[in-house]
């Protein structure tokens, strides 16, 4: 089937849902409010493919900004099925990647912005050193400079336009701190990640021709998870779309905004829906969960929403598990009772997730599952493979290929080569560079086939034979090459962390593993069964949440995100007689006729 036929079929499939169909066919500014399980990604990718096919004339294209690389990878995978590959007139990446690759890199040398010709991205260590040096020169106080920088960083992300009165008018002492910090970085030819959208905004605002150049290349801008992207992205959208002629298609859900600590503000999405020049479309149907789980989600949220199940969908199940004591006992209950209960009903290990608020809670569950012999994989901050890192995902894919070989090439070598090329050179690579990269990658992968090496040993060779030479030649300044070293440390055999390469690659029998994840890391994912761990009174919400109304709203939304992940069953685990008040609200809601 040709790509045009695939697209027509995708559009036809959406006709049964009038809201999705309307969004895909929209040709003006559009905001899609998409609740959990509402087919948001399918709507977004189909709209992108249709726009490229019908609205934008080659060689012009579209740009899609996502919250993180994990979201970008998901969109790329979906778009590939519609015949669209990254680089084929479609930019897909984070706001930082967009700012660097589409604004700063091509135009910084043409304007006076104080950047070196060969800029580099500051490492975490370099950024910390710059904070300390800036604090010494600007503040000269007796507190921890990094504690103070937390406030400065928040201001830096919020007050994007430094020509406005609030830049100097609010906390002027922080302005001095920020300016000294940025001066420290520039003196070393460095920028940090927060610099990227800020510098891009300044360049576009001060130079109309840059705005016109971006419009010439990308007449339509798509934004995924708008509620999570913060003030810098919002200011760029206002500048490019409502002051620069680019059409906006934004997707988001304020109820799932759980990144205020990183600068997200759900009110920014809501402000777009109030504009008279924006068409707002709400997706009402939940394709993930049945009626009982939808009721539970609204009980978790504590507010009414017009969400509906699809006709014929199973109701779903909710179970409540009270343990006699605290968190350790609750973790043991998950391993000895809850997971066996789910397995006995036919739920596969790989379709079960245990969700919690912080990674240290995952340690308790991990230990309990180890004792019970239940295979698991962590996707929280202690994960071996960072799902948001393109390099980590590439390394995992190479391991999968190596343990399958040419006869079971999954993923295909062409995809690995494309990933390697993007990691090394971005979107511009010569034929000679591609050929050299291909030979190097083939030699490494072929020598890995049938190797008895454990994951730790294989990663060491990966670092030595690929990462080291690539790092010296790479033009992609965004790459976090230290990821491989972190993975080597994370498989240290002296700490009993090593594992067979086939298991790391997901090819061993135990690859069907229970997922352990924080609520933040689980956002955007779905499972047949979800176990929410530690939903105790005093933990949901906790003392810190209760200090502010903002904190309470954020905690409530986190709870809601967890409750909306399952397709079939939700299991709530808590201390007996000490459950969260939100569990009670959820229970009351699901008991109503």
34 is in an annotated binding site: yes
DSSP 381-425: TT-SS-TT-HHHHHHHHHHHHHHH-GGG-SS-HHHHHHHHHHHHH
**Euclidean distance between CA atoms 180 and 131, whole angstroms:** 9
**Single pTM value for the model:** 0.87
299 is in an annotated binding site: no
Output phi, psi for 243, to 5 deg.
-140, 0
Q: How many CB atoms lie within 10 A of CB 313?
A: 18
541 is in an annotated binding site: no
**Euclidean distance between CA atoms 367 and 441, whole angstroms:** 37
61 is in an annotated binding site: no
As a whole number of angstroms, the longest Cα–Cα distance in the chain is 68
- With a CB cutoff of 8 Å and minimum separation 6, the contacts of 365 are 331, 334, 335, 354, 356, 376, 516, 533
- Give the CA count within 13 Å in the CB-facing half-sphere of 553: 14
- Structure confidence by residue, pLDDT tens digits, 118-134: 788 888 899 999 999 99
pLDDT at 38 over 50: yes
**Euclidean distance between CA atoms 166 and 155, whole angstroms:** 10
At 478 the pLDDT is 59
**Euclidean distance between CA atoms 168 and 84, whole angstroms:** 45
**Euclidean distance between CA atoms 330 and 328, whole angstroms:** 5
- Structure confidence by residue, pLDDT tens digits, 534-548: 999 999 999 999 999
- Structure confidence by residue, pLDDT tens digits, 461-477: 999 999 999 988 887 66
**Euclidean distance between CA atoms 383 and 346, whole angstroms:** 27
At 69 the pLDDT is 80
Percentage of the chain beyond pLDDT 90 is 61
37 is in an annotated binding site: yes
- Structure confidence by residue, pLDDT tens digits, 228-285: 988 999 999 999 999 879 999 999 999 999 888 878 899 999 999 999 999 999 999 9
Q: pLDDT band at 414, cuts 50/70/90?
A: confident
* Cα 331 to Cα 64, 324, 348, 392, distances in angstroms: 40, 12, 19, 29
Mean pLDDT over the full length of the chain: 90
Helices (H), 246-326: 266-273, 291-301
Each domain of the chain, given as residue ranges in start order, spans: 3-105+199-283, 120-188, 291-375+509-591, 390-504
At 441 the pLDDT is 94
Helix then strand then coil, % of the chain, to nearest 5: 55, 15, 30
∠ CA 581-585-589, nearest 5°, is 170
Question: Do the first three CATH levels of 3-105+199-283 and 291-375+509-591 match, i.e. the same topology?
Answer: yes
**Euclidean distance between CA atoms 318 and 301, whole angstroms:** 16
38 is in an annotated binding site: yes
What is the CATH code for 291-375+509-591?
3.40.50.300
Q: How many CB atoms lie within 10 A of CB 508?
A: 16
**Euclidean distance between CA atoms 96 and 373, whole angstroms:** 42
How deeply is 32 buried, as exposed, middle or buried, from its count of CB atoms within 10 A (0-12, 13-18, 19+)? Answer: buried
Q: In 3D, which of 579, 573, 577, 572 has the Cα closest to residue 293? A: 572
547 is in an annotated binding site: no
pLDDT at 508 over 60: no
At 593 the pLDDT is 46
> Higher confidence at residue 593 or residue 20?
20
Output phi, psi for 175, to 5 deg.
-60, -45
Q: Which residue's entry shows tokens 């933040």?
A: 520
CATH 3.60.90.10 matches 3-105+199-283:
no
Please report which helix (H) or strand (E) contains residue 352, including its range. strand 352-356
35 is in an annotated binding site: yes
At 510 the pLDDT is 44
């Amino acid at each position: 089937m040709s790509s045009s036929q695939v697209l027509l079929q995708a559009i036809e499939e959406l006709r049964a849902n009038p809201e999705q169909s309307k969004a895909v066919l929209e040709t003006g500014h559009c905001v899609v409010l998409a609740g959990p399980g509402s087919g948001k990604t399918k709507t977004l990718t189909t709209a992108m493919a249709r726009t490229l096919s019908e609205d934008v004339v080659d060689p012009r294209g579209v740009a899609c900004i996502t919250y993180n690389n994990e979201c970008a990878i998901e969109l790329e995978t979906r778009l590939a099925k519609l015949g669209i590959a990254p680089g084929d007139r479609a930019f897909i990446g984070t706001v930082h990647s967009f700012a660097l690759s589409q604004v700063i890199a091509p135009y910084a040398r043409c304007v006076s912005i104080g950047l070196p010709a060969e800029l580099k991205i500051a490492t975490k260590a370099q950024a910390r050193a710059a904070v300390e040096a800036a604090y010494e020169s600007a503040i000269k106080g007796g507190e921890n400079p990094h504690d103070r920088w937390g406030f400065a960083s928040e201001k830096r992300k919020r007050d994007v336009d430094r020509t406005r009165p609030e830049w100097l008018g609010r906390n002027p002492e922080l302005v001095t701190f920020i300016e000294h910090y940025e001066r420290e970085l520039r003196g070393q030819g460095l920028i940090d990640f927060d610099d990227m959208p800020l510098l891009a905004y300044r360049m576009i605002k001060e130079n109309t021709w840059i705005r016109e150049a971006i419009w010439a290349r990308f007449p339509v801008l798509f934004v995924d998870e708008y509620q999570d992207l913060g003030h810098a992205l919002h200011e760029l959208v206002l500048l490019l779309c409502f002051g620069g002629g680019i059409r906006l298609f934004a997707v988001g859900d304020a109820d799932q905004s759980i990144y205020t600590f990183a600068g997200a503000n759900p009110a920014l999405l809501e402000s777009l829906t109030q504009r008279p020049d924006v068409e707002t479309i709400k997706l009402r149907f939940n394709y993930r969960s049945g009626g009982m789980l939808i009721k539970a989600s609204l009980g978790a949220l504590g507010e009414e929403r017009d969400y509906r199940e699809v006709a014929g969908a199973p109701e779903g199940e909710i179970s409540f598990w009270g343990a006699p004591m605290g968190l350790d006992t609750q973790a043991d209950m998950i391993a000895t009772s809850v997971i066996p209960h789910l397995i006995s009903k036919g739920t596969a290990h790989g379709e079960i997730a245990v969700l919690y608020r912080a990674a240290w809670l995952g340690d308790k569950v991990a230990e309990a599952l180890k004792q019970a012999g239940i295979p698991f994989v962590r996707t929280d901050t202690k994960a071996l493979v960072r799902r948001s890192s393109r390099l980590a995902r590439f390394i995992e894919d190479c391991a999968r290929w190596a343990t399958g070989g040419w006869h079971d090439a999954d993923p295909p070598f062409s995809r690995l080569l494309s990933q390697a090329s993007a990691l090394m050179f971005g979107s511009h690579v010569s034929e000679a560079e591609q050929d050299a990269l291909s030979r190097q990658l083939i030699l490494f992968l072929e020598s890995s086939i049938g190797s008895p090496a454990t994951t730790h040993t294989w990663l060491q060779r990966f670092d030595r034979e690929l990462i080291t030479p690539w790092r010296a030649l790479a033009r992609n300044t965004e790459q976090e090459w230290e990821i491989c070293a972190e993975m080597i440390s994370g498989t240290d055999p002296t700490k009993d962390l090593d594992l067979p390469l086939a298991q790391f690659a997901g090819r061993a029998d135990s690859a069907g593993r229970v997922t352990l994840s924080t609520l933040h890391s689980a956002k955007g994912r779905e499972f047949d069964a979800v176990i929410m761990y530690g939903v105790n009174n005093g933990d949901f919400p906790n003392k810190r949440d209760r200090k502010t109304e903002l904190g309470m709203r954020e905690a409530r939304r986190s709870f809601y995100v967890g409750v909306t992940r399952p397709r079939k069953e939700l299991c709530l685990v808590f201390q007996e007689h000490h459950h969260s008040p939100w569990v009670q609200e959820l229970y009351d809601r699901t008991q109503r006729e």
